[in-house]
Amino acid sequence: MKIAVIGAGIAGNVAAYHLAREHEVTIFEAGSHLGGHTHTHEVEQAGRRYSVDTGFIVFNDWTYPNFIRLLDELGVASQPSNMGFSVRDERSGLEYSGSTLDTLFAQRRNLLRPSFWRMLRDILRFNREAPALLARPGDDLTLGDYLAENGYSHGFVEHYIVPMGAAIWSTDPQNLLRFPARYFVRFFHNHGLLSVDDRPQWRVICGGSARYVEALTTVFRDRVRLKLALRGKRLGFSLAEIRELFELYDVSRGEHQQLEEFLTRLERRRADLEQQREDIEVMLREIDFFANQCRRRLRGEPDGGNPSVAA
Ligand SMILES: Cc1cc2nc3c(=O)[nH]c(=O)nc-3n(C[C@H](O)[C@H](O)[C@H](O)COP(=O)(O)OP(=O)(O)OC[C@H]3O[C@@H](n4cnc5c(N)ncnc54)[C@H](O)[C@@H]3O)c2cc1C
């Protein structure tokens, strides 16, 4: 069967990788590279080459069993890495890193700062109490509401939970407090972020994440169409997409049904465009009418007629 996969991120690539064993797969990707958020940049610095991952970087030995199996199957090597967390607040000048006691109190004055100690106590309390949320299905409390209801300190919110979450999801700090609290806590729980010592081993792909994308896409590499964004049924397709999809279906292979469905979609698209043409014609008549009214007024003449008469 001929199958079109839309999007060459990990989801599309893995689907294409498995389907390509028995089917003829074509993968359509809006961007200009394979891998979606997996994007490795080759950088040269002082005569040395570095592979820098800007999207997907790390995985761990707790929550990625299928990904690890896939890497083994592809023969792609990985190596241990560590995940650090550091904060620097430009407004207050506060600075700390969670790696060791020495870096936690890198600014020795924090040893005497009650708000800093309160933040540390709140971290331990959050780690202890937040998992209770997971046993409350259907609870749609936001993270911000949960923290306010439970009296977490300003320091804990501003210098720990918000920067930590914003870094993980690469998101605006303000958005983070609108996250559903249970989703947030489940992620922290699954990734061992609610524990100070019991944490998974983080790993990175040797040579950059692009190495697994190369291995994963070898089989269908010649069937990848980059810079081609497919649009859904409701939006209809572009001319380029119509041409691509037309080439996919072959009656001599018995693909009548697919061709018929494609024809139905073409007819729907045509009807949509026809409707749009009518809407545009009505709009053009309205615009002409009101443009004429403007000209009349500018000439000091009375308004004339109404839009429906003009139509
Ligand atoms: C900055 C950043 C860092 C991250 N770091 C990690 C990490 O270290 N570890 C981790 O586990 N996860 C990480 N993630 C999350 C991880 O990258 C995503 O969960 C994963 O990439 C999602 O894969 P996906 O295939 O669903 O989507 P994507 O990777 O987003 O791929 C979707 C692809 O579909 C294409 N597409 C969309 N619509 C169309 C269309 N209509 N037609 C054609 N193509 C289309 C897009 O261009 C894109 O290439 C990170 C995410 C970001 C943003």
Tell me, what DSSP letter sits at residue 170? Answer: T
* pLDDT for the residue numbered 232: 56
Rounded to the nearest 5 percent, the helix, strand and coil shares of the chain are: 50, 15, 35
Q: Confirm or reject: Cβ of 204 under 6 Å from ligand 1.
A: no
**28 CB within 6 A, ligand 1:** yes
> Helix, strand or coil for residue 207?
coil
Determine if ligand 1 sits within 6 Å of the CB of residue 8. yes
Q: Tell me whether residue 168 is exposed, middle or buried, using C-beta atoms within 10 angstroms of its C-beta: 0 to 12, 13 to 18, 19 or more.
A: middle
45: left (phi over 0), alpha (psi -120 to 50) or beta: beta
Instruction: Please check whether residue 220 is in contact with residue 25, taking contact to mean a CB–CB distance below 8 angstroms.
Output: yes
Q: Which amino acid is residue 115, in one-letter code?
A: S
Question: Which residue's C-alpha comes closest to atom 50 of ligand 1?
Answer: 56
CA of 14 to the centre of ligand 1 (A): 13
131 Cβ below 6 A of ligand 1: no
Q: What is the pLDDT of residues 268-303, one digit of tens each?
A: 888 888 888 888 888 898 889 889 999 999 999 888
DSSP assignment of 75-119 equals T--EEEE----EEE-TTT--EEESSSHHHHTSSGGGGG-HHHHHH
Q: Which residue, by CA, sits nearest to atom 7 of ligand 1? A: 56
Does 304 sit in the ligand 1 pocket, CB within 6 Å? no
What values do phi and psi take at 120, rounded to 5? -65, -40
Q: Is 165 in the pocket of ligand 1 (CB under 6 A)?
A: no
Angstrom distances, CA of residue 307 to CA of 45, 279, 281, 284, 297: 67, 14, 13, 11, 16
Site to substitute for ligand 1 among 10, 56, 78, 170, most atoms within 8 A of C-beta = 56
What are the residues facing 45 on neighbouring strands?
48
Q: What separation in angstroms does the CA of 64 have from each of 42, 67, 117, 202, 224?
A: 26, 5, 35, 10, 27
Kindly report the pTM of this predicted structure: 0.72
Which pLDDT value is given to residue 234? 47
Walking along the chain (311 residues) 10 residues at a time, the average pLDDT comes out as 92 97 92 94 94 94 94 97 92 94 96 96 96 83 94 96 91 88 92 85 96 96 86 64 79 80 87 85 87 91 65 41
The string of pLDDT tens digits covering residues 139-157 is 789 999 999 999 999 999 9
**How many C-beta neighbours within 10 Å does residue 105 have?**
14
Q: Does the CB atom of residue 6 touch ligand 1 within 6 A? A: yes
> Quick one: which atom of ligand 1 is closest to the CA of 170?
1
- C-alpha–C-alpha distance, residues 137 and 181, integer Å: 11
Using CA atoms, how far apart are residues 43 and 51, in angstroms rounded to an integer?
6
Q: State the pLDDT at residue 255.
A: 78
User: Can you tell me the distance from the alpha carbon of 304 to that of 291, in angstroms, rounded to the nearest whole number?
Assistant: 12
Q: Is the CB of 55 under 6 A from ligand 1?
A: yes
- Residue 137 per-residue DSSP state: T
Residue 120 host element (H or E): helix 114-129
From CA 190, how far away is CA 210, in angstroms rounded? 25
From the CA of 35, how far away is ligand 1's center (Å)?
Answer: 8
CA of 49 to the centre of ligand 1 (A): 25
Q: Which residues contact 140 (CB under 8 A, 6 or more apart)?
A: 180, 182
* Top mutation candidate among 5, 14, 37 for ligand 1, by most atoms within 8 Å of CB: 37
